[in-house]
Amino acid sequence: MLVQSIRALAALLLACVLPTSAASQPLDEVRALWVVRTSLTSPSSVEAIVRTARDHGFNTVLVQVRGRGDAYFTAGVDPRAAALAFQQASFDPLQALIASAHAEGLRVHAWVNVNLVASANDLPASRQHIVYRHPEWLMVPRDLAEQLATIEPDTPSYLGRLSRWTREHLDAVEGLYLSPLAPGTAEYTAEVLDDLVARYPVDGIHLDYIRFPDDRFDFSRSAMAELRADVRPHLSGEERLRMDARARVRPTAYADRYPERWTALRRSRLTSLLMRLRTVVKRRRPDAVFSAALVPDEADALAHRFQDWRTWLESGLLDVACPMAYTQDPAVFESQIAAIREIATSNDLWAGIGAYRLSPGQTIDNIRAARRHRADGIVLFSYDSLTDQAQHGADYLAQVAEAAFGINTVATGSR
């Protein structure tokens, strides 16, 4: 009762001294920034992240330490990021950021891209990268299924054709993805996370790209073999022979004949991957917050990205739901947050706001909308774009800080 009384008194005092919009924020609200890996490339840029977050009222940073199957920290399972090549080998961006942020009372969540491991436009320089070591683990679009079924994955033409197709379809797919259906990929990604949480005192792990690019993927040889193994025990002997004969002519035969099982298998393998990664993180750091970026439209997430996030939330696989509600339509934003809030009854909800597409006023309005629907926090995408004066001017975050958090950055001298 004493704690509740103190909280109530504190809320009343805040309401008396802060603007209405700022006073309405919960006392324990998470105010976070997504920080893209391009801001982790020097000691000065790391310090700027912490200084900017602190001065503008943010209490959490989600820092992208695995962007494209690389490591923005020292001695990771993945090769060191090429963007760090001009820094001293002793420079560890994650370690430096954690030390600086914790000294200022900020929480640090390691943002890890799970399935997206390479850009199609610029293949990794390191031959130790996973796309070279295990090209057979990469997702294949249906368009290439027949071509790549006749090419050995360890030949240069395999990766070459896959990269070329991806470059031609960058409007739909951002790069090369590991497949959760390929034997070995879950173990590899779990090893990446296990190493990370064992060595760094992060406050949380934030998963991104734990999804398929769309439903055209994965028609790789190994994925088709997994589907065949899943379906055949349920078929009669005659049907097995018939389907195997079809598959020898058309690699996608099982997927074509059993589309519902094919969809279910992709969903279940993605969920199994999430379960494994959660287990790894919680074993090392039970108190670390385990969150994931979610496609906000449930139907799209389920049917095309195979993100069964309703099940993830209802089963307690995520501590925090973080929908990427990047729409520019305020009504759509509010409806998406409201819908997920109704589902995430036992999970925290951080509303992901695509501030890079919005004016400061629109971002402030979305923060207020998220609060109306009892969001436990907000996350702005992204620090990098919002501090780029060429994109947004010099005072974007200052306007948000003043209107949404009650912080006058002019008075504190941080503008």
Note the pLDDT tens digit of each residue in 141-178.
Answer: 999 999 999 999 999 999 999 999 999 999 889 999 99
Q: Flag whether pLDDT at 415 surpasses 80.
A: no
Q: Note the pLDDT of residue 251.
A: 96
pLDDT at position 409, please?
A: 75
The answer to whether position 87 is within a domain reads yes
pLDDT for 145 equals: 97
Average pLDDT for the chain: 93
How do residues 192-235 score in pLDDT, each as one tens digit? 999 999 999 999 999 999 999 999 999 999 999 999 999 999 99
Which CATH number belongs to the domain containing residue 398 in this structure? 3.20.20.80
**Does residue 21 sit within a domain?**
no
**SS3 of 94, please?**
helix
In a domain, 10, yes or no: no
Strands 116-118 and 176-177: antiparallel
What is the pLDDT, as a whole number, of residue 410?
A: 62
Q: What value does the mean pLDDT take over residues 7-15?
A: 43
Confidence of residue 25 (pLDDT cuts 50, 70, 90): low
Q: Does the residue 16 lie in any domain? A: no
Distance of CA 303 to the CA centre of its chain: 19
Phi, psi of 206 (to 5 degrees): -115, 115
Query: Is 299 inside any structural domain?
Result: yes
Q: pLDDT band for position 271 (50/70/90)?
A: very high
Within 13 Å of residue 311, how many CA atoms lie on the same side as its CB? 12
Domain membership of residue 5 (yes or no) is: no
Measured distance CA(52)–CA(65) in Å, rounded: 19
Q: Answer yes or no: is 196 within a domain.
A: yes
pTM of the model: 0.92
Greater model confidence, 27 or 95: 95
Query: Does 372 score more than 60 pLDDT?
Result: yes
Any domain includes 6: no
Buried b (16+ CB within 10 A) or exposed e, 123-147: bbebeebbbeebbbbbbbbeebbee
Report the pLDDT value the prediction gives residue 139, as an integer from 0 to 100: 98
Which of 7-16, 18-27, 179-188 shows the lowest mean pLDDT across its residues? 7-16
Q: Which domain holds residue 268?
A: 29-412
Q: Is 248 exposed, middle or buried (0-12, 13-18, 19+ CB in 10 A)?
A: exposed
Q: What is the DSSP string of 22-45?
A: HHTS-TT-EEEEEE-GGG-SSHHH
pLDDT at 413: 56
- Residue 7 has what pLDDT? 41
For residue 394, what pLDDT is reported? 82
Q: For 340-359, what is the mean pLDDT?
A: 97
The pairing of strands 30-35 and 320-325 is: unpaired
Instruction: Report pLDDT digits (tens) over 29-57.
Output: 999 999 999 999 999 999 999 999 999 99
**Where residue 12 falls among pLDDT bands split at 50, 70, 90?**
very low
How many structural domains is the chain composed of? Answer: 1
Taking 70 as the threshold, does the pLDDT of residue 81 lie above it?
yes
Using DSSP's 3-state secondary structure scheme, residue 123 falls into coil
**Stretch 121-150: mean pLDDT, rounded?**
96
